[in-house]
Chains A and B, each alone.
Chain A
Amino acid sequence: MLEVDGLVKAFGGFRAVDGCTMRVNEGEILGLIGPNGAGKTTLFNLIAGALQPTAGTIRFLGEDVTPLSTDALFHKGLVRTFQIPHEFGRLTARENLMMVPPAQPGEDLFANWLSWGKVQRVEEAVRRKADETLAFLELSHVADERAGNLSGGQKKLLELGRTMMTDAKLVLLDEPAAGVNRTLLRKLEEKILILNRDWGYTFILIEHDMEMIEKLCQPVVCMAEGKVLIQGDFHTVRSDARVLEAYLGETPSAIERNEFEHDPKVEQLREQELHKEDL
């Protein structure tokens, strides 16, 4: 379904992604792990078209999509979520979902005058779908709440919901578990499995929560220093010597305790604070 071949992304002299080659088959939930700075998110940005690679190709459904931008890839069925929730803060949760479906007639300035009836009919259908999605995610009670006021975990669910409002084929999830409490996390895992099994979504999942990776992902890919170290099932990857070495300074027992690195939740909060200052 997705073939990444010899992908390189250089920022000045630093090669964040350095000759990355991997393949994702339809129906998989591929787990992407690796220490911080391994190039996972950069790889996501390249696949999703937010960054242009320095070298290499990306093929999606047999088509070369390397030069395409994010919005064009969306229309091909490749949809992403973000590590830091990218909700539309001043839109309600329902509106966050309703804005997603592509080619809504009401997005055309003139259609709002020339075919208002059609605009409203489509709008009604979109609203129903949004409400169904909110119900599926168990977010119906916050449908009219501004998305900026939701909790971090609810925002993550909402982002997953956005991928359900279009005909997604491949969904890129960037750390869906970061900053999400245990109860919500189980819910999130369950939803991802349902989407995979019943909706036929293929996923690539960046995650530091090893429990989640073990539960959901097959195969697992470990990246380090911009390259793919190893691909295989969870237990093979986890016990591979190169993987252990990549997580510098960490002992195997720490890995057992899911402490590959600093607490991702703390990191998430810190990043959110930084992000707020940027705004």
Chain B
Amino acid sequence: MDLLGLANYAVFMAILIGIYALLALGLNIQWGFTGLFNAGIAGFFAIGAYTSAILTSLPAAHRLGGFELPMVLGWVAAMLVAAAIAWPIGKICLRFRSDYLAIATIGIAEIIRLVIRTEGWLTGGVRGITGIPRPFGELPYMQSQLAFLAIVVVLVLLAYMLVERQVNAPWGRMMRAIRDNENAAAAMGKRVADRRLQAFVFGSALMGLAGALFVHFNRSITPEAIDPMIATFLIWIMLILGGSGNNRGAILGAAAIWIIWSVSELLTDRLPTEVAIQAKYARVFIIGLTLQLVLRFRPEGIVPERQAGAASSRR
């Protein structure tokens, strides 16, 4: 690979890392700080992706949409719709304890995927949605990629600052208290159910934004993109590896896992075709092995949760 190709690939990878970082930050609010086991990340990602796609894409005969709205509007709508759908789901499911919540959210993500596949009038069914605009898409390839990267970096930084302030504020302390001991938090007057719902909706909105960024980067979306392997479990591994309960850890984990994941793809693609198919499974195996090693040797992740008291008392 020549130098330019390598640079291109690096930028491409950085953009996807940014999108995954948003997903990991969203999950960190839910799991890292509040202890909600959301195993349906793909569902909220998909909702954000399709919302923005429908609102901003070119008109098409076989489906609704083609409103050609400005992209920023699409992104805001993606967050709002993801939050609006998370609300009733959370209202029903957050009463479950963590393991049941995981099962319920897996189910919900599958339902969302099936709805997207079958409701062709809305989502284009298996054909998906194409003709989605891309910010600075009219520039030459490299400039356009760099411009997109800049947008992603700004949004990740904004999201990071947003989440950091909330988790370092009394809000975050209350959430961690609820995570550590729900009954005691209730005995201290905290409305546990409402607060967990708040965190669930907040995290889901960030996941929706990640979905929206993804479709505008890709310019098209099909139900294939909502694979739970790629859009749910990979993000869990990113958060666990990076350090759940730490936002920098979440971003670092996203970068580390995505690099392992895509570089291993580069390698397997070079193998002769007879073994390349089997080699695809090896990638999943490598990720699984990484998770095992982290859990065995550093269960708190690369950057563990800060002991917040130490940080706040040293002001």
Contact = CB atoms under 8 A, between A and B. Distances in A.
Contacts of B176: 88, 90-91, 95
B2 to A, nearest CB: 47
Contacts of B180: 87-91
Given A86-B183, A91-B177, A119-B170, A71 B190 contact: yes
A222 interface: no
Interface in B165-187: 165-166, 169-171, 173-174, 176-177, 179-181, 183-187
Contacts of A71: 186-187, 189-192
B45 interface: no
Interface string A80-104: 1110001111111111101110101
A109 B313 contact: no
Contacts of A99: 170, 173-174, 177, 185, 188, 190
A82 B187 contact: yes
Contacts of A123: 170
Given A87-B181, A144-B313, A166 B169 contact: no
Contacts of A69: 186
A74 interface: yes
B177 A102 contact: no
A140 to B, nearest CB: 12
B139 to A, nearest CB: 34
B309 A100 contact: no
A166 B187 CA distance: 12
Interface size class of B (residues with CB under 8 A): 20 to 34
Interface in A103-133: 104-109, 112-113, 119, 123, 126
B196 to A, nearest CB: 13
B308 interface: yes
A68 B120 CA distance: 48
B313 A106 contact: no
A47 to B, nearest CB: 12
Contacts of B50: none
B278 interface: no
A37 B189 CA distance: 28
B184 A88 contact: yes
B20 interface: no
B181 A113 contact: no
Contacts of A75: 189
A276 to B, nearest CB: 13
B232 to A, nearest CB: 25
B305 interface: yes
Nearest to A145: B309
A48 interface: yes
B166 A94 contact: no
A119 B170 CA distance: 8
Contacts of A81: 187
Interface in B181-213: 181, 183-192, 198, 202
B310 interface: yes
B188 A95 contact: no
Among B177, B188, B308, max chain A CB count under 10 A is at B188
Interface string A188-225: 00000000000000000000000000000000000000
Nearest to B305: A90
B273 interface: no
B310 A92 contact: yes
A86 B184 contact: yes
Please name the 10 residue pairs, one residue from A and one from B, whose CB atoms are nearest each other, closest first: A92-B309, A106-B170, A74-B189, A86-B184, A88-B180, A106-B169, A88-B177, A70-B186, A112-B169, A104-B170
Given A70-B187, A107-B169, 12 more contacts: A87-B180, A88-B176, A88-B180, A95-B177, A99-B173, A105-B170, A108-B171, A112-B169, A119-B170, A126-B170, A144-B313, A162-B188
Interface of A: 48, 50, 69-71, 74-75, 79-82, 86-96, 98-100, 102, 104-109, 112-113, 119, 123, 126, 143-144, 146, 162, 166
29 contacts: A48-B187, A50-B183, A50-B186, A70-B183, A70-B186, A74-B188, A79-B187, A80-B187, A81-B187, A82-B187, A86-B184, A87-B180, A89-B180, A90-B176, A90-B179, A90-B180, A90-B245, A92-B310, A92-B313, A95-B173, A95-B312, A102-B189, A107-B171, A108-B171, A109-B171, A126-B170, A144-B310, A146-B309, A162-B188
